[in-house]
Structure 1
Amino acid sequence: MAGIDISVPPQRPDFVQFARGFGKRFILTVDTEEEFDWSAPLDRSSHSLLTVPTLRKFQQFCEGFAVAPIYLVDYPVASSPAAIEVLGEAVREGRADIGVQLHPWVNPPFDEELSDRNSFAGNLPPDLEREKFSRLRDLIEKSFGAAPLIYRAGRYGIGPNTAGMLVEGGIAIDTSVRSQFDYSYMGGPNFREHPLRPYWTGEPGGLMELPLTTVWWGMLRQLGPLIYPLLWRAPSLRGVLSRAGMLERIALTPEGITAEEAIRGIDIALDDGLPLLVLSFHSPSIAPGHTPYVRNEQDLDAFYDWWRTILGYLAQRGVAPASVRDIMDAVVLA
């Protein structure tokens, strides 16, 4: 994998092929992390783990829909006895999957300057990115009794050395690419031109890239990749286009996206033939007061209602949940 930069869009993507019986599937990923002030400068110590116990309720909720969530845990969570108690049994029994999420600013060793640019792990020196990842990966395996097979960089911060690092660490699937989003203004990757379908980052059967699902909706959806970036200085115009039914960017998340919008997104993704949908959210949203999306108990009720609606709709459309192992076992190599 040396020399393969997964933060750069592939010129000729080799899309993953799945067995016919795999059908239409989705995964539910949870960026399982500490709580911190999203509006404040990054800090190595100003965080808490108050929402970790509430993962038990969310896990039980998912089991009621026969969904095995994929918890992408970072260093503070992997170090938490409460997280091991709440999630350990579910992971061991296959009712949940465990994966890696690297937040470099709270993940030792702390050899880098604390800055926005360095909060994207792919910007770090290769040896430092690898050492942070290795410590976290080993801690997760020790804490949860399972070797993680899936990775997401915190802030989606992959870089030129990430792919090789993941392969060396036994990771089969990367899900850091957020198609249609651009974080370059903060020093991060630009994913505007990355494919949405799962694709191989190198040789087929190696590291799979499984992008988060984001689609364009509206009369101008075919021009979304061209028009939307031009409006970054005028976000109000994006809202005008959305309300007018002209153009909207829809990510499959309860954070800032209504259930009605998400259903439109699901329909578009399925109509476009996307074989595997990736839904996501941040774990601090499962308790009030820790993210902009869930500020009070009413917001929390709405959060769970969102999932009831979306999981019900996916079942109605014949889209079944998948685990990491389901995905790997369904791969067809030519």
Structure 2
Amino acid sequence: MSRPTRAFRAALAALALLAAGPALPRPAAAAEQLVVAGSTDIDAMAPVLKAFEALYPEMRVIYHERETVGLYEEVLDGTLLPPPDVVISSATDLQIRLVNDGFSRPHVSEATRRLPDWAIWRDEAFGFTFEPLVFVVNPAEIDGDDVPRTRERLAALISGDPAFRGRVATYDIRQSGIGYLMASFDQSAMSDFWPFVARVAEGGLMTACCAGEVVELVASGKAAVGYNVLGSYAHARKAAGAPIEIVYPEDFMFVIARVAFIMKDAPNVAAAELFIDFLLSEAAQRVFAHESMLSAIDPAITDGLGQTTIRAAARGPIRPIPLNAALLAMTDPLRRQRFVDLWSQVTGKSPAE
């Protein structure tokens, strides 16, 4: 028997994806190119982009990977080339600012109508993952009984044992959009936020631009604990063999959704709408959960690791960050600068470092 052709294999892959969920509409006209700009690592996005191209082999996806703040600034300036059709970021406040300022266009479909209210705004911003902010621990550095499971226990560990001082790693909020966002939400939830920051920063605070670097500091043993780390990256590194343990904080746990929107002047609107619906489809959600380690926003889909959902595994309150106009306040430049300056002062960092 002759070997199946590439087109035949692509057709089989498309049929397999369609079998995993409701059929998706096809674009009115074939779009040769779809451009996506995102802050999500290409390694995490690649399986979903590949699945999309398998389902629609007439399309080719170009993916711009940027840090959250850099992505925001390039969208503002219009300097991304080729211009994007879809923009994706974990910095939900910056995404909401772009939507509010007229950079997006609405899209309504069966897929978007299924989203929970907190994960959609003005039919223009769409949350498509459900990712917790976790503690990451190196078990070779901290005995099981000492593993912090609340923020108070983390602060007590650092304050009470000189061996752990200067060995907490977290996002550098001076350059990380998600770091600034999460620190801002911590402040809103904690009456003792600034004393907490001072305690965990005793002896120095290790900071990094992004989740992968924070996890690496912990995995290498340079840091004993990583704080406020996106759980998706931590799970992916652990699955790849990194010597870390992941702790869902028990006092409260924020959850963010990566947010996608269609550019107002998207060159390929039909393809962009199709891609948004694909991100929200059962087929793509399973790829996110099982291959990309980005927890699905669909509560029926397991996380691909422990065959459970975050909602079932959490031992404390879960607080999803809603997509709404309240996030706009966090993008105010003066507010941001005051917050960063105070954080820098408390942690002993230079604001301009």
Tell whether the structures are fold-level matches, with TM greater than 0.5. no
TM-score (norm 2): 0.30
TM-score (norm 1): 0.31
Highest CA radius of gyration, 1 or 2?
A: 2
Structure with the higher fraction of residues in helix conformation: 2
